[in-house]
């Protein structure tokens, strides 16, 4: 459903691979958005990445930062 927010419950049920695919799809489709829509997408993307990071063990986050 284009233009609709994804339900948090649906996002919680997605695998890491599905979340990664969703992220890649969003990156590819950003060129089709207005600047205001891009800003909203960036905010949603940041929230999504935070939720994914929260599911990872601390060791995965520290190795990714180095």
What is the per-residue pLDDT across 27-40, written as a single tens digit (0 to 9) for each? 777 666 678 877 88
N residues, the chain: 66
3 within domain boundaries: no
Q: Quick one: DSSP state of residue 7? A: P
Is residue 61 a part of any domain in this protein?
no
pTM of the model: 0.42
pLDDT surpassing 80 at residue 65 = no
The number of domains in the chain is: 1
Report if residue 48 sits inside a domain: yes
Q: Does residue 50 register a pLDDT over 80?
A: yes
Phi-psi region of 3 (alpha: psi -120 to 50; beta: other; left: phi over 0): left
Does a structural domain hold residue 2?
no
Does residue 1 have a pLDDT over 50? no
What is the predicted pLDDT for the residue at 32? Answer: 66
Q: What is the mean pLDDT of residues 39-52?
A: 86
Please, which residues have CB within 8 angstroms of residue 13's CB and are 6 or more apart in sequence?
none
């Amino acid at each position: 459903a284009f233009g609709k927010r994804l339900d948090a419950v649906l996002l919680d049920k997605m695998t890491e691979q599905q979340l990664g695919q969703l992220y890649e799809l969003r990156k590819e489709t950003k060129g089709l958005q207005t600047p205001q829509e891009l800003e909203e997408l960036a905010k949603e993307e940041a929230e999504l990445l935070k939720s994914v990071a929260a599911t990872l063990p601390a060791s995965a986050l520290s190795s990714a930062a180095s």
